[in-house]
Structure 1
């Protein structure tokens, strides 16, 4: 082979590697995208039901404040309470939170396994026969689909026809060890640490804001109760609606688990930082494979919590 041909081939290989290294769009298997969508839609539906229920309870207390004394008027709070009861029964029967938790757990499990496959981590480690590893990964996805028929039932036709082992996954797996280490550091470790740190801060801030709102609601209810002592004949004191607001805030904080998530995300972000310090020690495929397994275990901590929540939902 001519010397110029070798140089050109090496240049093309370098350009191909650089293009992959700068890629920001990493495509996961179609099953991941389906599980992710299912989780997001179930979460939105569950939270909408909770907010609607709280809102109807607030309207019921407001409409019960004797603005009118006719019998016909008092049908309104009764109808609102019936609507609230229907929402509560709907939430109890449909259990959308289970779809939320199950979908999130499945999505994170598939994501973790996809990165293990791309980085040649166990159980999809380096092998002379790439077809065997591809077959093992497809078998893993098939087992997930078989064990969770809900995912298959909710998979739209376009996603069912999409690739389960994407082109970007194959391209990344084909990278040399050094480039795979850099890719994993940039597109997995650093992105995950940034995500966890951002979420930890957002949940901590949200927790403070909702606590302040709760204190204000209780303070308003206390002030109104004291004021009613001076004017006991006045019948339009909005004490009950304010109490419902305070109770709803506490319930919302329990649903969203701001403090719990802030603590969990903070610990995971620190753990990722500690794990990242081991990257310079990666010299062989075996070392890197073990490193990927350790890192993915840290990333899957939240996935494990989603599984636990689903089991107790």
Structure 2
């Protein structure tokens, strides 16, 4: 099983060669994506049930069935919280993403002949070194190895397309790295920064609207104390959920971090024209990969902080 990066087109040279990662990259990425999805589904269910409980607390009925349903909602909310604490899907998300990124940066170093997979007349030497390197990465992440399906084999060796890219000349590899790695990462970070800025603004507006509504209703309650319906428990639950969701998603923090990383990548990109030898290209690739890894390391640290 292999996983390809997006195939992009260079108008001057035609379509770029498809890039296939080893199967472990897709397995780790799939684990991260499914765990992330499960984590946020549980949080949404928990918040939704708490808001439902706050609505039921307004006492629309005095029947036993109504109160039994209220108890059931609280029980389900507690069950969601306990399952989330027991399952810890966010840890599988972070660890799966870390494994995928470690494999990804190693693959790019191998394909671009960067240290520790520098040029050799015998490709079997760097290929064996790459295989051992990936095995080391996998062993260091053995705590999530049981999450992978045993029916799917994990290929630790370089794929055929990786070897093909590696065997191309310096000019072709420079163009390939520029288009499919540097510019692709720069566009991703810029897109994510824009998305998080918009999300931060949208959730800020929603939160402010709930607070404003609570203030308005409080004023009406003061004026018409006896005859005014006052759903304050619902507004409190809504406001708390909105604040909690915004803190978990870290929209502002991610927008700033992604913008800075995109800017750094832009500065790195301008240096590629200075590369004229295999040695300088190896240094350039390692500098670029360190920048990508640094942002990801900081992201993981923020999640566990």
Residue in 2 that maps onto 1:219: 212
3-state SS in 2 of match to 1:300 = helix
8 Å CA contact 2:22, 2:158 repeated in 1: yes
Residue in 2 that maps onto 1:27: 20
Residue in 2 that maps onto 1:241: 234
Q: CA deviation at 1:259?
A: 0.6
The whole-number CA distance in structure 1 between the counterparts of 2:293 and 2:263 is 14
TM-score by length of 1: 0.89
Residue in 1 that maps onto 2:271: 278
Residue in 1 that maps onto 2:113: 120
Instruction: Note closer, same or farther for the CA distance 1:118–1:104 as it changes in structure 2 (3 Å cut).
Output: same
User: Larger % of helix: which?
Assistant: 1
User: Is the radius of gyration larger for structure 1 or structure 2?
Assistant: 1
Instruction: Note closer, same or farther for the CA distance 1:154–1:261 as it changes in structure 2 (3 Å cut).
Output: same
8 Å CA contact 1:31, 1:164 repeated in 2: no
What are the superposed Cα offsets for residues 14-36 of structure 1, whole Å, 9 maximum, x if unpaired?
xxxx9x97236421111111110
8 Å CA contact 2:109, 2:285 repeated in 1: yes
Instruction: Note closer, same or farther for the CA distance 1:74–1:24 as it changes in structure 2 (3 Å cut).
Output: farther
Where in structure 2 are the equivalents of 1:20-169 lying within 5 Å? Answer: 22-23=15-16, 25-156=18-149, 159-160=152-153, 164-169=157-162
Instruction: Note closer, same or farther for the CA distance 1:129–1:224 as it changes in structure 2 (3 Å cut).
Output: same
The whole-number CA distance in structure 1 between the counterparts of 2:137 and 2:246 is 33
Instruction: Note closer, same or farther for the CA distance 1:158–1:184 as it changes in structure 2 (3 Å cut).
Output: farther
For structure 2, which runs of at least 5 residues remain unmatched after alignment? 1-10
8 Å CA contact 1:145, 1:151 repeated in 2: no
8 Å CA contact 2:31, 2:92 repeated in 1: yes
Aligned residues: 295
Q: CA deviation at 1:311?
A: 4.8
What are the superposed Cα offsets for residues 55-87 of structure 1, whole Å, 9 maximum, x if unpaired?
000000101111112344222222111110111
Q: CA RMSD in A?
A: 2.0
- Worse-superposed segment, 156-165 or 83-92: 156-165
Of 280, 286, 294, the residue aligned with 1:293 is: 286
Instruction: Note closer, same or farther for the CA distance 1:115–1:264 as it changes in structure 2 (3 Å cut).
Output: same
For structure 1, which runs of at least 5 residues remain unmatched after alignment? 1-17
8 Å CA contact 2:221, 2:228 repeated in 1: no
Residue in 2 that maps onto 1:183: 176
The whole-number CA distance in structure 1 between the counterparts of 2:139 and 2:36 is 23
Q: CA deviation at 1:122?
A: 0.9
Instruction: Note closer, same or farther for the CA distance 1:105–1:21 as it changes in structure 2 (3 Å cut).
Output: farther
Residue in 1 that maps onto 2:198: 205
The whole-number CA distance in structure 1 between the counterparts of 2:84 and 2:100 is 23
Q: CA deviation at 1:158?
A: 6.2
The whole-number CA distance in structure 1 between the counterparts of 2:88 and 2:14 is 42
